[in-house]
């Protein structure tokens, strides 16, 4: 390829990329399971929780569970063809999930990883390359190309023109720019735009927890947020408190989170000035503030008088949270719009949550999951059923 000098190939420089198969093919499932095993052996005792989560997702048992939800014996399905993935720079494992979604749905894939270097990207690519050395995966080897390049619009234009679908991760600005490039008439674009997320806590249930269960819940919240510097769209930025005794619950929650953050979190230098500047700006400009507290350089909590739809003009990160007390769960609607992605919750039964959201048509919220599952990416994401969108169905009567 004449453009090779502008491209760094991490996987599949000579891949043919003209193969498409049925979703959840047995070869793909076995390949992902082998990748899971190799990642487990590579990681061993290394501290990469996001890679361990990826390995868990790739297990044969998990993929077969996903397959069971999509089986329809009265139709035939095949991948669309070639997918072009533009992945974000703030979540290093995102490219791997996007690639896996493309493979599971039966497609060949060109995946552009961020120009910023991450250890996680290197580990994943080396692991995939190792597994692809097996002769039985020669077909899959021709379905994967992972590349890195910087600010080369002509390359993005070239891949856009050749693909059958684009998965565009990276926010509104990136999506607007990518959509300027011409595509095939039947091309499908799946944009993953800027999103924000919130949490809901039953204060009465929280106060009844044992010390062990409190620490476990706090650890789950930490993993949902600090593990990715709050960069993930699914990481909560606003905590809603429901029930009596919320003052005691809040005091206990933030006290324990503060202890955990001081032990585990290594914040980037920029976070100190960024969080402090945000707090000062809020104090000056935000008339909706009830109180505020700085627990440490990586934990700021701003309490609001009431919910407002204009909370996240710029999303906070690095341990900056808003909180608000609500008397009626229907008041969640004050902060719901198409930008709200995930609601994590504690202290409510799944049955109650299901009934509540079925009976209230909120303008937003694509996911409702318990604490600790905010980052558990799946085949239904941002409201898209990816397996169905990225494959074509042949009607058979």
The Cα 290–Cα 277 span in angstroms is 18
Query: Residue 109 has what pLDDT?
Result: 97
Q: What is the pLDDT along the chain (397 residues), one digit of tens a residue?
A: 556 778 999 999 988 999 999 999 999 999 999 999 999 888 876 778 889 889 999 999 999 999 988 766 667 889 999 999 999 888 889 999 999 999 999 999 999 999 888 899 999 999 999 999 999 999 999 999 999 998 778 999 999 999 999 999 977 888 999 999 999 999 999 999 888 899 999 999 999 999 999 999 999 999 999 988 888 889 999 999 998 888 899 999 999 999 999 999 988 888 888 888 888 888 888 888 888 899 988 999 999 988 876 665 568 889 999 999 998 888 888 888 778 889 999 999 999 988 888 887 777 788 899 999 998 888 888 888 999 999 988 877 7
Count of residues in the chain: 397
Expressed in angstroms, the distance from the first to the final Cα of the chain is 44
The Cα 315–Cα 322 span in angstroms is 11
SS3 46: coil
Query: Residue 45 has what pLDDT?
Result: 61
The Cα 333–Cα 344 span in angstroms is 15
Assign 3-state DSSP to the chain and report helix, strand, coil percentages, each to 5: 45, 25, 35
Sign of dihedral through CA atoms 341, 343, 344, 350? negative
Query: Residue 332 has what pLDDT?
Result: 85
Tokens found for residue 302: 């701003």
Which ranges of the chain would DSSP assign to H, the alpha helix?
26-43, 49-58, 60-70, 94-104, 119-131, 138-141, 153-162, 172-178, 203-207, 211-225, 246-264, 269-285, 350-359, 386-389
pTM of the model: 0.87
The closest of 239, 192, 166 to 90, measured between CA atoms, is 192
Distances in Å between the alpha carbon of 244 and those of 204, 249, 250, 293, 306? 6, 9, 11, 22, 17
Query: Residue 310 has what pLDDT?
Result: 66
Tokens found for residue 154: 């002509």
Neighbours of 31 (CB within 10 A): 25
The closest of 29, 6, 47, 77 to 266, measured between CA atoms, is 47
What domains sit in the chain, N to C, each tagged with a CATH number?
Answer: 4-193+382-395 (3.40.605.10), 196-370 (3.40.309.10)
SS3 386: helix
The closest of 393, 381, 380 to 79, measured between CA atoms, is 393
């Amino acid at each position: 390829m004449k453009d090779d000098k502008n491209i760094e190939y991490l996987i599949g420089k000579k891949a043919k990329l003209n193969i498409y198969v049925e979703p959840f093919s047995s070869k793909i499932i076995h390949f992902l399971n082998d990748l899971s095993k190799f990642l487990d052996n590579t990681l061993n005792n290394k501290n990469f929780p996001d890679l361990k989560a990826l390995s868990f997702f790739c297990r044969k048992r998990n993929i077969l569970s996903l397959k069971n939800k999509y089986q329809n014996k009265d139709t035939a399905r095949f991948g669309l063809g070639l997918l072009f993935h533009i992945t974000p720079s703030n979540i290093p494992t995102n490219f791997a999930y996007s690639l896996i979604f493309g493979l599971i749905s039966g497609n060949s894939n060109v995946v552009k990883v961020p120009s910023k270097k991450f250890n996680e990207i290197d580990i994943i690519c080396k692991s995939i390359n190792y597994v692809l050395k097996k002769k039985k995966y020669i077909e899959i080897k021709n379905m994967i190309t992972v590349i890195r390049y910087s600010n080369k619009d002509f390359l993005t234009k070239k891949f856009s023109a050749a693909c059958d679908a684009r998965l565009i991760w990276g926010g509104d600005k990136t999506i607007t720019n990518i959509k300027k490039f011409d595509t095939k008439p039947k091309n499908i674009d799946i944009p993953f735009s800027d999103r924000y997320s919130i949490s809901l806590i039953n204060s009465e249930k929280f106060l009844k927890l044992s010390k062990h269960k409190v620490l476990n819940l706090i650890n789950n919240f930490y993993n949902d947020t600090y593990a990715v510097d709050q960069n993930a769209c699914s990481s909560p930025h606003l905590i809603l408190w429901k029930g009596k005794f919320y003052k005691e619950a809040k005091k206990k929650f933030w006290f324990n989170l503060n202890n955990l953050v001081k032990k585990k979190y290594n914040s980037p230098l920029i976070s100190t000035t960024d969080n402090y500047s945000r707090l000062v700006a809020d104090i000056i400009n935000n008339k909706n503030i009830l109180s505020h507290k700085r627990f440490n350089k990586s934990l700021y909590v701003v309490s609001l008088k009431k919910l407002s739809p204009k909370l996240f003009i710029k999303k906070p990160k690095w341990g900056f949270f808003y909180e608000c007390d609500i008397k009626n769960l229907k008041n969640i609607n004050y902060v719901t719009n198409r930008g709200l992605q995930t609601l994590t919750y504690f202290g409510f039964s799944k049955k109650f949550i299901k009934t509540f959201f079925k009976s209230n048509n909120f303008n937003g919220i694509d996911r409702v999951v318990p604490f600790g599952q905010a980052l558990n990416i799946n085949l239904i994401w941002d409201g898209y059923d990816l397996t169905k969108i990225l494959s074509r169905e042949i009607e058979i009567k």
